[in-house]
Homo-oligomer: A and B are copies of this chain.
Amino acid sequence: MSLHNQFLSSLLTEFNPFITTTQVIDWIKERNDVINVSVKKIPFSKLDKWSFDNEKGIIRHDSGKFFTIEGLHVKTNWGKVKEWDQPIINQPEIGYLGIITKEFNGILYFLLQAKIEPGNVNNVQLSPTLQATKSNYSQIHQGKKPLYLEYFQNVINSQILLDQLQSEQGARFLKKRNRNIIIKIDDDIPVYDNFIWVTLGQIKKLITHNNIVNMDTRTVISGIPIDNCVNINLPIYLQDKLLINTFENRMLMSAFDKNASLRSFDEILNWLTSLKCKYELEISTRSLFNLKDWTVTKDCIHHKNNTYFKVIATEIKISNREVQSWTQLLIEPMQVGLIAFIVKIINGISHFLIQAKLECGNFDILEIAPTVQCLTGSYVDSIDLPFLKVVLNANKNQIKFDTLQSEEGGRFYREQNRNLVIEVDEDFPIKVPENYNWVTLSQLNTFLKFNNYLNIQTRSLISAINFI
């Protein structure tokens, strides 16, 4: 069976003899019940091995590894605010976000972990098989080697199903990227405590629940190619399925059809190039102590209006059978956030309304963002943001997906954002501003193969698109 068909059949399969979807949810709940995670805010001075470098104006680890919190000065001709300062996370290492897959009875299963992350609103969520940076698994940490690391380090080309460099939040991270990788193992693999095998269809179903599937799992599975079927005949059961006009089938058609898009792929690329040439992004580092509108106190770095986010120091205690404790920095959001795609049938095919969005930490000026993205500002205050009203006023029939999803719990303190997909009628009038455009799911999938085109919010929403 071809790679694409292997993904496709797993995508369309929710039946799992090992563990049902309901059992997964109960299992996560149970894991959350038996564990106690306490996150206590502490002064910066109580951090272990982390301290201010007063000369450079950064916060760093004694080893010089992991990441630093730095100050950034930003100048741009994009948007309403042309110049500002802010703290940013600088983590130049490329980390692994890796999932091991294996075929059982002809269906591809994904090995996920029930993982505790201190920043999560609930403590345990489903993470990829491996989440690790070089600092994590090299000597610096003096910890144990992460489970399953050797499968990724010894992988041979024919076992790699997907290998992409994808960005993290451009408003919080300076050009950070992770290696999103899916490998397929034929040999027997030990399944350690807290790990389970699930189908892609189950993961998609689990994403319809609040805060079960973590950001890292969502970004990895968003990259799975389900297009490329243009040259092969669809299996009979799919042809039959597609006769029924449901939202899920419209999504499947939008992922498959390469010939009905409003704009050709080259036109979308040209549009992005012209915007990258029009908009300028000039960044320079600046001491955390000299950031305009930001104050460093003994226990946080905050904006003068207490908006955007705070950098905080925390002490983490995890009690289960044994007690673990450590101190670390976290980013605490000060406002609630929302990301949403508006979807509409054009030329008989569902199209997504994307925007080209500049964020200060972007690797290449602009990335493709959802129709509405207000994560770092409060959307209650941003009511004139394009399309926000359409999204907030959507009726029940138009809302195809509406959940709360967590940002990465290793860096962000209890940050969850509302993820929405809204489908409007074919005759719903939408005036498309210069930096917005309509694309099919197939076109989004093509962008996913290349680095730094779709931002992490777009990928989070794509991961939620369900086909069954």
In the complex, the answer to whether A273 meets B92 with C-beta atoms within 8 Å is no
A277-B179, A364-B451, A450-B450 are contacts. A163–B270 as well, Cβ < 8 Å? Answer: yes
Q: Which of B160, B181, B267 contacts A157 (CB 8 A)?
A: B267
Chain B hits for A451, CB < 8 A: 273, 364
Count residues of A near B (Cβ-Cβ below 8 Å).
Answer: 26
Chain B neighbourhood of A421, CB < 8 A = none
Q: Please state the number of chain copies in the assembly.
A: 2
> A449 contacts the other chain (Cβ, under 8 Å)?
yes
Q: Is A274 interfacial (CB 8 A cutoff)?
A: yes
The residue that A165 contacts in the complex, of B267, B273, B282, with Cβ under 8 A, is B273
**Residue A151 is within 8 A (CB to CB) of chain B in the complex:** no
Q: Give the chain B neighbours of A251 by CB distance below 8 A.
A: none
A119 beta carbon closer than 8 Å to chain B: no
Main secondary structure of the interface of A (DSSP, over half): mixed
CB distance from A266 to the nearest CB of B (A): 7
The answer on a CB contact under 8 Å between B449 and A160 is no
Q: Which residues of chain B come closer than 8 Å to A165, judged between CB atoms?
A: 273, 276-277
Does A271 have its Cβ within 8 Å of any Cβ on chain B?
yes
Contacting pair B364 A270 (CB below 8 A): no
Residue of B nearest to A450 (CB): B450
Is A249 among interface residues, defined by CB-CB distance under 8 A? no
User: Could you name 16 residue pairs across A and B whose Cβ atoms are closer than 8 Å?
Assistant: A92-B282, A160-B270, A160-B274, A162-B270, A163-B269, A163-B270, A165-B276, A165-B277, A179-B273, A179-B277, A181-B273, A225-B266, A269-B449, A269-B450, A363-B364, A450-B450
Give me the 3 closest cross-chain CB pairs, A-B, nearest first.
Answer: A163-B270, A163-B273, A179-B277
